[in-house]
Structure 1
Amino acid sequence: MTTIEQTLGMTPWPSPREPHAVSRLRSERLARSAKPFLARGGIKGERCPGCRLVPTHCICALRPQVPTQVGMCLLMADIEPLKPSNTGWLIADVVKDTFAFGWARTEVAPGLLALLADPQWQAFVVFPGEFVEPQRVVHELPNRSDPLPAGRCPLFILLDATWPEARKMFRKSPYLNHLPVLSLKPEQVSRYKLRRSKRDDHFCTSEVASLCLDLAGETHAAQTLQAYLEVYTHHYVQAKHQLPPAWDGAEHLQFRDLNPS
């Protein structure tokens, strides 16, 4: 039988799939749950543990990983790692140096504090500048001819939550108060379809990460992550409506152009 990977001319990700930071956080959160997590709406029944889609729509064979000189730190609201529509998972698929921590108002993960103190990283909290003291806000990163202090690599801290939750997280995380705030000014509007927002300038976490990568000069990684999001969204929606994915559709063609076999 011809596999999807053979049809696409792609090498499947090694099996068993090595869990990344978001996957591990999800496992930890599930272990603390008193009852199974049931997502509202969407797909029912069995899901692939690697990509959270139904097995017939699995995209694990497409998992890209693009070398970058940046890091991503996802500070995730309580149930975000459990949601099938969470796009932080896609960031961890693409960017090797992705870290994920659960957020709580009364405590902070020791690993997060250690990461913020690691001298190899210069952390930026990604958040709208209109809600921040002006002296903390930056809109650009130093270019490659003007490196960050002590040769540090940028570490983007993304508050992975709904907008009301993210505002609460920002206000009630004093360990972030000393860090610069990167305020993005994207020209496009969000194309994310799996959750709705009343504002076009609200982006899903994966889209924010893509904008950060682009700002850091990691153009290929930014484009790959955006294309990967489009593929995931297509498969999710098709599965929701019990339709097969279009493996030769626009989303897959764009993704394969960026990641040829």
Structure 2
Amino acid sequence: MTHAVSRLRDERLARSTKPFVARGSRAPRCPDCRVIFSYCLCAWRPSVEANSAMCLLMYDTEPLKPTNTGWLIADVIKDTYAFGWSRLEVDPELLALLDDPQWQPYIVFPGEFVAKERVVTQVRRDDGKRPLFILLDATWTEARKMFRKSPYLERFPVLSLEPEQISRYRLRRSRRDDHFCTAEVAAFCLELADDSQASSVLDAYLDVFSAHYLGAKFQNPIDPDDTAHTQLKAFL
């Protein structure tokens, strides 16, 4: 596995002064999907085209967590970039990406916490630029800190999502049902950008990942013919 999130994970591990041990990590895990080998979902990793790109700003240990769903985004969306976030230092490659004229960056964040003149609810399709969605991959408290303390993002419009559905993510729960995991947010963004097929595939892949992860945790059987698995079969 060589995508942006896996490389960031390797870099973060190299800087660690002690081993990172995730909860429930006694059984060996597949290094490519982070699920124990008997429930590995690598065979279910889909391939789908998308015009949109994703830029993940990841808080400290997020790349190390086996439940992190930014990894799923990088599995599905070819143009996914991942950077560790720091209040004091900004990766020059991140700044170069944001300045690249082929992209129209959108920082994805709830509009209720942002000045109204910065907030948009639609993705532009008439300027010839490809959308680059900047996702703050962190807990809600951490994401608010990242948003406030990243002045290099202040020049970009804030895409505020207004989804009707309740979060389906079952691995790490927020206290609020309207807080979505990173992969769910990415799927909403893809839908707004008319990357509907990629959005549906990412949603299904998240469901498959959750089923395999929880199946491993509780020793439940996997149904390869359920709705999510069946939807992915056309994209393997």
TM-score range normalised by the length of the shorter chain: over 0.9
Alignment partner, residue 28 of structure 1: 11
How far apart, in 1, do the equivalents of 2:232 and 2:47 lie? 13
CA deviations 1:74-123 (Å, max 9, x no partner) are 00000000000000000001100000000011111111001001011010
- Establish whether residue 58 from structure 1 lines up as the match of residue 40 from structure 2: yes
Identity %: 63
| Partner SS for 1:31 | helix
- TM-score in terms of structure 1 length: 0.88
| Partner SS for 1:198 | coil
Q: Is the 8 A contact 2:44 2:232 kept in 1?
A: no
Alignment partner, residue 194 of structure 1: 171
Match of 1:172 among 115, 129, 149: 149
Q: Is the 8 A contact 2:5 2:81 kept in 1?
A: yes
- Establish whether residue 102 from structure 1 lines up as the match of residue 84 from structure 2: yes
How far apart, in 2, do the equivalents of 1:183 and 1:59 lie? 32
1:93-242 pair list within 5 angstroms: 93-143=75-125, 147-148=126-127, 151-242=128-219
| Rg larger in structure | 1
Cα RMSD for the two superposed structures = 1.2
How far apart, in 1, do the equivalents of 2:108 and 2:134 lie? 6
Q: Is the 8 A contact 2:201 2:231 kept in 1?
A: no
- Establish whether residue 47 from structure 1 lines up as the match of residue 24 from structure 2: no
List, as ranges, runs of 4+ consecutive aligned residues in structure 1 with deviation greater than 3 Å.
Answer: none
Q: Is the 8 A contact 2:48 2:235 kept in 1?
A: no
Gaps of 5+ in 1: 1-16
Question: Deviation of residue 60 (structure 1)?
Answer: 1.0
Greater RCO, 1 or 2 (C-alpha within 8 Å, sep 6+):
2
| Partner SS for 2:27 | coil
Match of 2:62 among 61, 76, 80: 80
- Once structures 1 and 2 are overlaid, which stretch shifts more, 55-64 or 179-188? 55-64
Task: Give the 3 Å change call, closer, same or farther, for CA 206–260 of structure 1 in structure 2.
Answer: closer
Question: Deviation of residue 71 (structure 1)?
Answer: 0.6
Question: Deviation of residue 61 (structure 1)?
Answer: 1.5
Question: Deviation of residue 62 (structure 1)?
Answer: 1.6
Gaps of 5+ in 2: none
CA deviations 1:203-223 (Å, max 9, x no partner) are 000000000000000010000
